[in-house]
């Protein structure tokens, strides 16, 4: 019997903790001891609204138990992730059988139902049970505090950029990042790895912008003129940021929309937009067939990203972590529940 301590979001910013005995591991699933669970900007929406499940969706941990059927195969991938496997958690619970999953485009699963940390229990806990196929084993030479950045911060950034670059017949020369939170900084790091020569950034928050400039981006000073960037990456979800990306893009360029908010994404109704070729590219997560390439990116830029972003805290510090996160004091608090290795 495993005793678990987990965070609950009651709504209106209230976080409580619960300690329970866990049910046996379900067929096809494994139990992870959570070593690292990073806070994400999108968690703030759950914090305000409340969550019926344990939140936390940027999870790294170690497998401590597997369901019996998972070890005996059965197509669940359990044989890949035996006890002791160090892994990060792929949050879309993909079916593994549809036409998209068969091509490893698991983020496009046609039967996509739950996301871990959103519709089923996530990682702000000591332990979490996840489908075995959602555990991505981490190479031995990559620490879990770096590997966890392979999810939203680098995985999603790299996938979005790959999609945006695929629209461009010529190698993009100028890229703008609008919004310099953790994902924006991930986009800057990946764009550097991809060899984009001129990377610009803007953010109304001076501290966030300063971190982007320390990472090697240049400050975008002209936020009005048309025809400036081959790729404009919108990473905040704010109306103003979306308008800015649409304003400064080159004809034929790509606006990559990674930001999320509750506001609808609108196209401008002005003559200039009507008379411009432009791609609008949207993604929320990466497919599993990009994981190997992403480890290469992470080996190179992961440690410095971690040093720039991460602020380690204990699970019991979660309420303070969200306060410091919301205030912009810490860019990406990491909840470390075990000895991160």
Binding site for Zn ion (CB under 5 A): 40, 42, 94-95, 98, 101, 109, 111, 152
Give the contacts of 190 (CB within 8 A, at least 6 positions apart).
Answer: 154, 157, 158, 161, 297, 301
Give the whole-angstrom CA distance, residue 51 versus residue 181: 23
Instruction: Kindly tell me which of 32 and 101 has the beta carbon lying closer to Zn ion.
Output: 101
Which of residues 87 and 259 has its CB atom nearest to Zn ion in the complex? 259
Least distance (Å) from Zn ion to the CB of residue 153? 8
**Token output for 102:** 């068969």
Give min distance, CB of 270 to Zn ion, in A. 33
291 and 104 Cβ atoms separated by less than 8 Å: no
Q: E-assigned strands of the chain?
A: 3-11, 14-21, 29-38, 58-66, 86-89, 127-131, 135-137, 174-178, 198-202, 218-219, 229-234, 249-257, 279-282, 310-313, 332-336
CB of 167 to Zn ion, least distance (A): 24
Tell me how far apart the 2 most distant CA atoms of the chain are, in Å.
65
**Chain mean position to CA 187:** 11
Shortest Cβ distance from residue 112 to Zn ion (Å)? 7
Tell me the closest approach of the beta carbon of residue 223 to Zn ion, in angstroms.
27
Which CB atom, from 80 or from 273, has the smaller least distance to Zn ion? 80
């Amino acid at each position: 019997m495993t005793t678990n301590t987990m965070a609950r979001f009651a709504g209106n910013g209230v976080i409580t903790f619960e300690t329970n005995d866990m049910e046996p591991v379900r067929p096809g699933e494994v139990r992870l001891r959570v070593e690292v669970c990073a806070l994400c900007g999108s968690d703030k929406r759950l914090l305000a609204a409340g969550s019926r499940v344990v939140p936390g969706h940027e999870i790294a941990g170690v497998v401590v138990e597997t369901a019996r059927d998972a070890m005996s195969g059965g197509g669940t991938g359990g044989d890949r992730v035996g006890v002791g496997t160090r892994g990060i958690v792929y949050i879309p619970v993909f079916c593994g059988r549809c036409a998209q999953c068969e091509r490893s485009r698991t983020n496009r699963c046609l039967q996509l139902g739950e996301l871990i940390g959103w519709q089923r229990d996530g990682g702000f806990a000591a332990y979490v049970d996840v489908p075995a196929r959602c555990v991505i084993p981490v190479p031995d030479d990559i620490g879990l505090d770096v590997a966890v950045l392979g999810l939203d911060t680098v995985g999603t950034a790299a996938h979005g950029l790959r999609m945006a670059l695929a629209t461009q017949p010529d190698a993009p020369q100028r890229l703008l990042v609008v919004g310099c939170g953790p994902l924006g900084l991930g986009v800057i790091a990946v764009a550097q790895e991809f060899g984009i020569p001129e990377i610009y950034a803007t953010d109304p928050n001076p501290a966030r912008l300063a971190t982007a400039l320390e990472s090697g981006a240049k400050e975008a000073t002209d936020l009005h003129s048309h025809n400036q960037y081959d790729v404009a990456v919108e990473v905040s979800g704010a109306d103003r940021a979306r308008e800015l990306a649409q304003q400064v893009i080159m004809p034929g360029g790509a606006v990559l929309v990674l930001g999320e908010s509750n506001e609808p994404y609108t196209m401008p109704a002005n003559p200039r937009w009507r008379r411009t070729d432009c791609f609008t590219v949207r993604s929320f997560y990466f497919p599993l067939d990009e994981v190997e390439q992403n480890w290469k990116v992470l080996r190179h830029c992961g440690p410095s990203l971690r040093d720039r972003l991460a602020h380690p805290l204990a699970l019991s510090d979660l309420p303070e972590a969200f306060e410091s996160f919301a205030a912009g004091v810490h860019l990406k608090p990491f909840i470390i529940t075990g000895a991160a290795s």
